Chain A
Amino acid sequence: MAEISLRKLNKSYGDITVVHDIDLEIADKEFIILVGPSGCGKSTTLRMIAGLEEISSGDLIIGDEIVNEVAPKDRDIAMVFQNYALYPHMTVYKNMAFGLELRRAPREEVDKKVRDAADILGIKHLLNRKPKALSGGQRQRVALGRAMVRSPEVFLLDEPLSNLDAKLRSTMRFEISKLHQRLDATFIYVTHDQVEAMTMADRIVVMKDGHIQQVDTPQSLYNNPVNTFVASFIGAPQMNLFEATLSCEGEQYLADFQGLVLPLPERLCGHWLAGRVGETVTLGLRPEAFFDGETGPDGVSASARLNGRVELVEPMGAEVHLTFSCHDHTMVARLSPRFNAATGSTVSLGIDMSTAHLFDAQSGLSLLPESEGT
């Protein structure tokens, strides 16, 4: 069993604290991804779990044991690094076997584990090669294999795909997900790429400035971000955020954006908005909330229409990303591939307000109470 608990975990370098009071429960066999911009403390947190960084305060519990003072080699974890960290003078076989040999595992067992791992990862033909001959993807597989042969309870992966090209990254994402299912171990994965996080994780931990912003499943994070940071970090293109004034007509709450009155969906309207009428709030609209026809892709009719000036049209094949300006705000819409407009022209886009988000303009926190999130 490899449940991991982080209790009030802190990391300081002198007077500078880079990880603040992290509380996190990771279930056995869970695939959890720490995501956030550079410098947010995600790699430091991972390295504390690995034992490569000393914990300044708080407890790290693996299973039932507090492991703050346990040496990395005794934590039953294996780590895969961004730069692979392969020994250049050793063959692939030796690189994979080295950890087990240091533990004086029987030769036949080492051989079997190395060959089995190589078979799973499709690198059997590389066993007698040195890392210099291998491509980035193959090196990454070797690094994974080296972690696999130890059969650890927990795999720690620190941006393992960052050095790969886009195509290979996509392939490796699939392979790592498959590997997780096959190995049935706990995976803790660090990345700054939200696509990796969304596609692979059971749960995502969004971090910023050493603080956890939100922990949830990928879809839940996307649908119910707790603040503007999470809202803009998760999703590509990112959520459009702009300020609007809150008003009310009977039971219906409205957001007034530069004279354009947008009716808020029922989901957002409730007693919690009562005291905020007349206040400035931040309205969030995902790019897919815009559509260019009379009705949206699911047949929804426009809650409102908005005119904008076309700044950029980016055909992506299956969709078109339209960057347009409206009242000095730049927004992005995800439209159907049939959409076409010249730069500088004016377009009229429908808005589906049912997926809108509302945040406090000062704190950036969601105005939807947690209990109301869907």
Chain B
Amino acid sequence: MNWWLNFYFAEGPGIEPGQPKPRGWRLLLSTLSREWWNLIVLNLLFVAACLPLVTAPAAVAALFRVTERIAGDQPCDIFREFRLAFISAFGRATIVAALMAALLSLGGLAVMTYAKAANGHLLFVLPLAMAIAVESLLLIFGCNLFYLLANKQGGLAQLIKAAALSVFVRPLAVFAALAANAVIWLLHVAGYPSTVLFAVLANFSFGALLLVFALREPVSQVLDLQLHGGAAVRPQHVNRPWAGQDF
């Protein structure tokens, strides 16, 4: 036991105030290595919150709120933060989820329709490509909107506007995060049933963290632009200092 206790209580190297923070992948890896346990707890919480199904949209918003705090290296009481975000976002998240489901279904329908048509006539390849692009952008838009909904205050129209503008800032990073999410789930499916615990313990929260890392920069750029332009979408920490996240 001694070796374990020594390991557990041993002094670390220390962190100097001016020490440059890692960026990009290194930041993601250091966050994962530091917060893996919290992410597992968060995943369990998310799965539990989704069980009644109708609560899934609010749970997604809460998931984005907590992962944003984790990505921002902010102190976070997971249970409390999740509960608060869940309650505060419930109504709007449900509306947004219904809206996004409808839009994505329409987009999906268009893609399938044009794909079938393109099979017979090469002419339909162009609208098919456009439908796929729109569907992809819609997906990013949905992610942006949920992220904003969870972390920012402001009217729904303003959030939609900010989410729409954010789609065009660094979309490749968001695509990469979505692709990584897809890989996580494919691994889960491919390894099933031995990977059955992946979904329960990790997939949602780790996936959300990847997305948040990709979404933070575009959203903050757009918000900066809007704030300087006098728009009313403000970081939530203006009203709730303890939930502060500098944008």
- Count residues of chain A with CB under 8 A from any CB of chain B: 26
Q: Which of B8, B15, B73 contacts A134 (CB 8 A)?
A: B15
A-B contacts at CB below 8 angstroms, number: 50
Instruction: Choose one: A88, A92, A111, A137; the contact of B9 (CB below 8 Å).
Output: A88
Do A107 and B12 contact each other (CB < 8 Å), given the known contacts A93-B75, A125-B17, A127-B75? Answer: no
Partner of B14, one of A88, A112, A138: A138
CA distance A130 to B33 in the complex (A): 12
Chain A residues, CB < 8 A from B1:
none
Q: Is B52 an interface position by the 8 A CB rule? A: no
Which of chain B's residues 76-120 have a Cβ closer than 8 Å to chain A? Answer: 76-77, 80
Interface status of A73 (Cβ within 8 A of chain B): no
- Taken together as a complex, chains A and B put the C-alpha atoms of A239 and B184 apart, in Å, by 72
A107–B74 CA distance with the chains assembled, in angstroms: 16
Do A133 and B12 have beta carbons less than 8 Å apart? Answer: yes
Q: What 1/0 mask marks residues of chain A from 96 to 110 whose CB sits below 8 Å from any chain B CB?
A: 000000000001100
| Alpha-carbon separation in the docked complex, A65 to B77 (Å) | 38
Size class of the B contact interface (CB-based, 8 Å): 10 to 19
Query: Contacts of B246 on A, CB cut-off 8 Å?
Result: none
A133 to B77, CA, bound (A): 19
Q: Chain B residues with Cβ under 8 A from A220's Cβ?
A: none
B247 at the interface (CB under 8 A from A): no
A139 to B10, CA, bound (A): 11
Residue of B nearest to A127 (CB): B75
Nearest opposing residue in chain A for B69, CB measure: A128
Q: Is A94 close to B, CB under 8 A?
A: yes
A371 contacts chain B at the CB level, 8 A cutoff: no
Closest beta carbon of chain A to B190's beta carbon, Å: 34
The 5 closest A-B pairs by CB, nearest first: A135-B14, A93-B75, A111-B242, A133-B12, A127-B75
List 5 A-B pairs, Cβ < 8 Å.
Answer: A111-B241, A122-B17, A124-B17, A130-B34, A131-B12
Which residues of B are at the interface with A, using a C-beta cutoff of 8 A? 8-15, 17, 34, 73-77, 80, 241-242
